[in-house]
């Protein structure tokens, strides 16, 4: 038996990376089925927020396109909340539960661990976003007319890649800041709704504020998707869709490289000081 165990090949390189991703995605996907009440509140509460903005826009006589903008923004909040609470704060929670030391000692990549968590959480998040779009579109009579489905898919993929890259990068920062991670997560939630234009065209904030907000991938991604889903939305768009695609490509590179560097730095810090999972004060 011992000889058989020793003879078993060990995964390494990309094979180990992908196995780690699958292993960490599995519990997230299965776990979503155990608390079905969470799915109800994750869908019901965002629709309430969407309804509030819809009634305000209709009361003030805003353009009908704004109703569709609000519904799409409400659907995309699911991804931002998933990144904020299930990615950025993840290593901090693992530290509190005593699992982080095991992740540091394991031979696999921390980036693979976080990517698996991201993909596992994205499955449920995507389902919630689709349900919000369908229910919101049905209740408020929103007409979705996709001009270019291929380009829309590309924009969504790039937005998610850059967004989850940002989540992996901030996970290291939140961990190093220890207890302040909780306060930072709470602080970042509502301001992002505002400056990213979840419920209105980000163009209304002015060029320079909108440009600064474009450092958050959802700003460019949501603006581009609105222009592709609503033909008349181009007049409310911040930039041309192709320029926003280029911007998302740049953000993908920046955040993924930043996440790789910060996670490696965190691991080296843990190995050198041997106390990353303890108080650093």
From first to last of its 281 residues, the chain has per-residue pLDDT tens of 444 445 556 666 677 888 888 887 787 777 766 666 666 766 777 788 888 888 989 889 888 888 888 888 888 888 887 777 677 777 777 777 777 777 777 777 777 788 888 787 777 788 788 888 888 888 888 888 887 888 999 999 999 889 888 888 887 777 777 666 667 777 777 788 888 888 888 888 888 998 888 898 989 999 999 998 887 777 888 888 899 999 999 999 999 898 888 888 877 776 676 666 554 44
3-class state of residue 243 by DSSP: helix
| Predicted local distance difference test score (pLDDT) of residue 252 | 92
Contact 113, 18 (CB under 8 A): no
Residues 6+ apart with CB under 8 A from 133: 71, 72, 75, 144
Residue boundaries of the structural domains of the chain: 36-273
CA gap 229, 206 in Å, rounded: 23
User: What pLDDT was estimated at residue 154?
Assistant: 93
How large is the greatest C-alpha to C-alpha distance in the chain, in angstroms? 77
What is the per-residue burial (b if ≥16 Cβ within 10 Å, else e) of 39-76? eeebbeebbebbbebbeebeeeebeebbbbbbbbbbbb
* Secondary structure class of 52 (helix, strand, coil): helix
The two structure tokens encoding residue 253: 């590179």
Task: Supply 192's token pair.
Answer: 């992002």
Q: What is the distance between the alpha carbons of residues 158 and 265, in angstroms, rounded to a whole number? A: 26
Count of residues for the chain? 281
d(CA 244, CA 214): 9
**Tokens 């993924």 -> residue:** 256
**Burial code of 20-29, b = ≥16 C-beta within 10 A, e = fewer?**
bbeebbeebe
Tokens of 19: 């196995």
Nearest to 245 by CA among 155, 161, 165, 163: 155
The alpha carbon of residue 200 and the mean position of all alpha carbons in its chain are separated, in whole angstroms, by 20
Contact 124, 32 (CB under 8 A): yes
- Taking each helix axis from N to C terminus, what angle separates 241-273 and 149-176, rounded to the nearest 10 degrees? 30
Tell me what pLDDT residue 244 has: 92
| pTM summary value | 0.81
Torsion, Cα of 188, 193, 194, 196 (10° steps): 100
Place of tokens 């008349």: 232
Question: Which of 126, 184, 130, 127 shows the shortest CA–CA distance to 160?
Answer: 126
- Alpha carbon 213 to its chain's center: 16
């Amino acid at each position: 038996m011992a000889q058989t165990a020793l003879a078993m090949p060990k995964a390494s390189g990309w094979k180990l990376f992908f196995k780690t991703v699958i292993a960490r995605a599995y519990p997230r996907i299965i776990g979503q089925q155990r608390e079905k009440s969470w799915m109800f509140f994750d869908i019901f509460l965002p629709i309430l927020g969407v309804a509030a903005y819809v009634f305000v826009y209709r009361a003030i006589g805003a353009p009908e396109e704004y109703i569709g903008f609000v519904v799409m923004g409400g659907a995309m909040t699911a991804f931002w909340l998933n990144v904020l609470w299930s990615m950025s704060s993840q290593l901090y929670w693992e530290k509190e539960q005593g699992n982080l030391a095991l992740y540091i000692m394991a031979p696999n990549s921390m980036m693979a661990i976080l990517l698996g968590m991201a993909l596992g959480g994205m499955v449920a998040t995507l389902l919630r976003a689709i349900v919000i779009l369908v229910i919101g579109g049905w209740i408020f009579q929103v007409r979705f007319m996709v001009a270019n489905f291929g380009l829309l898919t590309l924009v969504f993929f790039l937005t998610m890649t850059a967004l989850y890259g940002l989540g992996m990068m901030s996970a290291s920062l939140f961990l190093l800041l220890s207890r302040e991670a909780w306060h930072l997560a709470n602080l970042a939630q509502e301001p992002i709704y505002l400056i990213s234009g979840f419920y209105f065209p980000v163009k209304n904030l002015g060029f320079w504020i909108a440009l600064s907000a474009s450092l958050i991938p959802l700003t460019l991604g949501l603006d581009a998707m609105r222009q592709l889903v609503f033909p008349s939305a181009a007049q409310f768009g911040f930039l041309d869709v192709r320029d926003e695609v280029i911007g998302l490509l740049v953000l993908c590179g920046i955040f993924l490289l930043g996440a790789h560097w910060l996670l490696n730095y965190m691991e080296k810090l843990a190995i050198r000081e041997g106390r990353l999972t303890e108080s650093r004060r």
